[in-house]
Amino acid sequence: MAGAPNIREVALRAGVSVGTVSNVLNRPELVAEPTRERVFAAIAELGFVRNDSARQLRVGRSRTLGLVVLDVANPFFTDVARGVEDTANQHGLAVILCNTDEDPRKEASHLDLLAEMRVQGVLINPIDTDGRITALRDRGIPVVLFDRLGDPAVECSVAVDDVLGGRLAATHLVEAGHRSILFVGGPLTLRQVQERYEGASAVVSARDDVELTILTTTALNVAAGRAAGDRLATADRDALPSAVFCANDLLALGVLQALTHAGLRVPADVAIVGYDDIDFAAAAAVPLSSVRQPRQQLGRTAAELLLAETTEDEHEHRQVVFEPELIVRDSSVR
């Protein structure tokens, strides 16, 4: 009894039927003023809290939305999450944040869980487009891809033009006089990584006096960056590239740390350009040049597309592409 009063006890206390209590909660305009107040009083006295499972069971869907990201520790994703949350909260929805650590198995198990929860929709930065996403959609749960373009026939997506971003970074480095550029990033199965490389590659292959090599990493975090930096620092000094372009800022910060630690100077010995322009890029040991993406807006837009898909009768899938912007700081100018 003390445990959790239900709607029946509230009805009893207020001297009305359960239907009326439910109406007070969901469509208060249907209930006469004095009755409404009696019900509110009863709710307050008993400390009644609606049981969301029961509500969901009847209504068929929940008031939550799933957000599946590669790495919560990456400020890029927390900024996107912030944008998603803003929009979701405005519409009375809660966000369930799931972390995949770039592991397809974790991704799968999170998606299964979200399916069981009957979330209103899922925002995901997918690792591999395996069948599970299609399965969700078949079950009537809309899925919006973010930071990755999808097939406009079946899904909405929001992305930033990663090829352009790669091109911006490479163009900047080439124009600054660099002739041997190393791309650090991975795993290459991540589309973002691949496309950023592709953009850089396009710029370089248009000229025959610039060399682009690649050093793949197993993850996109600071530790992986440090490891890559250490490899560079211990390698043959002549083999050292004159510039490094990293697939994201965490890698760049790691590389920067390792190179500095090994006594190399940035940008004098090696220039660095990162990607994402997270807040910490500007505060780095050597302020980091980086390709900026509209992070919060990415999240907001993704959430809006998802909401549109759940509410519109005639929904047409949209692809939104934002343009990245190069921010030049000390790490790439001699």
CA 14 to chain centre: 47
Contact pattern from residue 159 through residue 198 relative to a copy of itself, giving x for each residue in contact according to CB under 8 A and a dash for the rest: ----------------------------------------
- Alpha helix ranges (H) inside 117-161: 131-138
- Give whole-number Cα distances, 3 to 7, 47, 140, 233, in Å: 13, 10, 36, 63
Q: Does 311 bind DNA (CB under 7 A)?
A: no
Residue owning tokens 């490891």: 227
Q: Does 119 bind DNA (CB under 7 A)?
A: no
Ramachandran region, residue 198 (left: φ > 0; alpha: ψ -120 to 50; beta: rest): alpha
State the Cα–Cα distance between residues 245 and 25, nearest whole angstrom. 55
Q: Does 327 bind a copy of itself (CB under 8 A)?
A: no
Task: Give min distance, CB of 179 to a copy of itself, in A.
Answer: 28
User: SS3 sequence, 37-82?
Assistant: HHHHHHHHHHCCCCCHHHHHHHHCCCCEEEEEECCCCCHHHHHHHH
Q: Does 136 bind DNA (CB under 7 A)?
A: no
Site for DNA in 25-44 (CB under 7 A): 25-26, 30-32, 34-35
153 binds, among a copy of itself, DNA, none (CB under 5 to 8 A by kind): none
State the Cα–Cα distance between residues 229 and 236, nearest whole angstrom. 13
2 binds, among a copy of itself, DNA, none (CB under 5 to 8 A by kind): a copy of itself
Task: Please pick, from the candidates 54, 113, 206, 262, the single residue that binds DNA as defined by CB under 7 A.
Answer: 54
132 binds, among DNA, a copy of itself, none (CB under 5 to 8 A by kind): none
Task: Please pick, from the candidates 6, 9, 35, 56, the single residue that binds a copy of itself as defined by CB under 8 A.
Answer: 56
Task: Please pick, from the candidates 73, 206, 328, 333, the single residue that binds a copy of itself as defined by CB under 8 A.
Answer: 73
Task: Please pick, from the candidates 31, 43, 65, 81, the single residue that binds a copy of itself as defined by CB under 8 A.
Answer: 81
Q: Does 108 bind a copy of itself (CB under 8 A)?
A: no
Q: Does 23 bind DNA (CB under 7 A)?
A: yes
Q: Are 123 and 67 in contact (CB under 8 A)?
A: yes
3-state secondary structure of 104: helix
Site for a copy of itself in 226-255 (CB under 8 A): 253-254
State the Cα–Cα distance between residues 243 and 309, nearest whole angstrom. 44
Residues within the interface to DNA (CB under 7 A): 4, 6-8, 15-23, 25-26, 30-32, 34-35, 48, 50-51, 54-55, 57-60
